[in-house]
Amino acid sequence: MDTLDDDDIDHFLSRPLGVAEEKPRRKFPLRPLLAVLAVAVLGGGLGTAGYFVSQMDSRDLIGLLDVADQPKLAIQIPGQSKGKDQPAAPTGEDGMLKPPVPAGEGPAAETPPASATPTAEPPAAQPGVPPASEAPSASMVPPVKIDSVPVAAPETPAPPPPIVVKQEAPQGPLQPLPRPIDKPPTYANLPPPATKPKPLGAVPAEGMTRHSGFGPLPVIASDGRQSWQVYARPFESKDTTKPRLAVVVTGLGLDRDATDAAIDRLPPDVTLAFSPYAGSLDTWVKKARDAGHEVLLTLPVEESGYPARDPGPWGLTTSARPEDNADRLLRVLARTAGYVGVLAQDGPFTKSQQLGPILAMLRERGLLVVGNADAADPKPPMVRLGGAVDGDVFRDAVESKQKALAAQVRAKGSQAVLFSPRPASLEAMVPWLASLAAEGIVLAPVSALVGPQGGKS
């Protein structure tokens, strides 16, 4: 055990009781912290500057460093400093630049005053050489001989011929001249029929309908009369050798202006097909028959492009059950009366096996079918459909299609064609119908294309 000496005892006794001995304070390492902070600041600044410099274009960097050569102007602007090798441009008294004077065209040098100009003696005349004032022109000076060598007198050079710049024709195809803008097609431009048509009979005819849960449905009368015959437009043609063409305007009843124009402005031999979804369908059918038009009812069938082209809630589709399609057909047929048959455009449904029961139902009700459906016997009266004329609604396209269809009718026989009730289509149709007779084609209602036995035309 260590012993305490006198100094330790004195130090212990001199310390106050209850007070701990103070420990020496440690100094904070401020210098390393400042060094780290300085390195961070300098590094961040240099990094930021390097980033902006890297993003600058080389031309901007050169301009920033001011090491690029100063541009030299061909003509120095007055009042500006000149370049090292750039002479000052001549200026007038008003400070404006003087235009450069071509060589040989400037004014003669000013003659200094006689008092300031020393008089120079004229050179001594050489023997055999006339004075300058009496020297003839260069063209009149004969050649002289110097040391027996003939030397011709110098001649004034002839001015160069003028330079003619020949303008070449522009390359590339020439732009066509703009066509005159015709008046836009409107229904008001359609001419009315030449003669007032005779209205067709009242509908429904006696004994031609029967009431059902869907409404009045067409039926064959007890005496054998059928709708496609009773409601047909009377047609008589003396020339039975010429092919017949039936023109059908589709989609009527949905647009008032289009339907009125088709009824009032088209010839009565044109057949009108109404949509089963049209409002006031009975009124439209009566108005059309009063104007002498034969009427069809459009059958909403599944066409190409289904389901984007939806036939509606009464549409006949290949995916529906046969009994559902039969109910929808009856709903469509009960919408109105006085039509000769239905229009069925080509599509998946008309090519499916579900078409057979539908055609049988139409035959039992005495209706004809306009379309290209191939069905086994017994089949209803059918009229072959030649297609639509105005698939492309352009005047040139419609006229080209009209000529092609006329040639097709002459080659293959009678058929029906479709038109839409657009103003452009109807305007193209009217003059075309007037020219059919000259082409050996007879315009007829669709019922006149049915064969003698009521079969396919």
Task: Name residues whose C-beta falls within 8 Å of residue 422's C-beta, 6 or more positions apart in sequence.
Answer: 185, 258, 390, 393
* pLDDT given at position 50: 77
- Record the tokens describing residue 231, joined without a space: 């409601």
With tokens 């026989």, the residue in question is 413
Average pLDDT value over all residues in the chain? 77
CA distance between the termini of the chain: 141
DSSP letter, residue 107: P
* pLDDT given at position 43: 81
**How does residue 136 score in pLDDT terms, banded at 50, 70 and 90?**
very low
With tokens 């009431």, the residue in question is 211
**Could you give the percent of the chain with pLDDT greater than 90?**
43
Mean pLDDT on 8-13: 62
Task: Name residues whose C-beta falls within 8 Å of residue 275's C-beta, 6 or more positions apart in sequence.
Answer: 251, 252, 253, 254, 298
Containing domain of residue 322, as a range?
224-449
Quick: pLDDT tens for 31-48. 887 888 888 888 888 888
| CA 55 – CA 50 distance, rounded (Å) | 9
Confidence check: pLDDT of 215 > 80? yes
What CATH number should be reported for the domain holding residue 267? Answer: 3.20.20.370
Domain assignment present for 33: no
Nearest one of 228, 227, 262 to 248, comparing CA atoms: 262
* pLDDT given at position 254: 95
Domain assignment present for 191: no
Quick: pLDDT tens for 421-432. 999 899 999 999
Domain assignment present for 373: yes
Confidence check: pLDDT of 220 > 70? yes
Mean pLDDT on 209-221: 95
* pLDDT given at position 178: 46
Domain assignment present for 125: no
Domain assignment present for 90: no
Domain assignment present for 17: no
State how many domains the chain has: 1
Question: What predicted TM-score, i.e. pTM, was given to this entire model?
Answer: 0.60
Domain assignment present for 375: yes
| CA 333 – CA 298 distance, rounded (Å) | 10
Q: For residue 147, what are the CA distances in angstroms to 140, 150, 151, 418?
A: 22, 8, 10, 110
**Which DSSP helix (H) or strand (E) runs through 252?**
strand 244-252
CA 395 to chain centre: 18
| CA 59 – CA 208 distance, rounded (Å) | 95
Mean pLDDT on 425-451: 92
Q: Residue 240, CB half-sphere, CA atoms under 13 Å: how many?
A: 4
User: 358 with 385: CB under 8 angstroms?
Assistant: no
Least confident residue range of 15-29, 184-198, 353-367, 376-390: 15-29
In 10 A of CB 199, how many CB atoms?
15
CA 22 to chain centre: 95
Q: Does residue 50 or residue 279 have the better pLDDT? A: 279
Which own/partner pairs from 350-354 qualify as long-range (CB within 8 Å, at least 24 positions apart)? 350/301, 352/318, 354/316, 354/318, 354/320, 354/322, 354/325
* pLDDT given at position 335: 96
Domain assignment present for 278: yes
| CA 90 – CA 293 distance, rounded (Å) | 94
User: 218 with 208: CB under 8 angstroms?
Assistant: yes
Quick: pLDDT tens for 66-86. 544 454 444 444 555 444 445
User: 409 with 441: CB under 8 angstroms?
Assistant: yes
* pLDDT given at position 183: 72
Which residue type is seen at 269? Answer: D
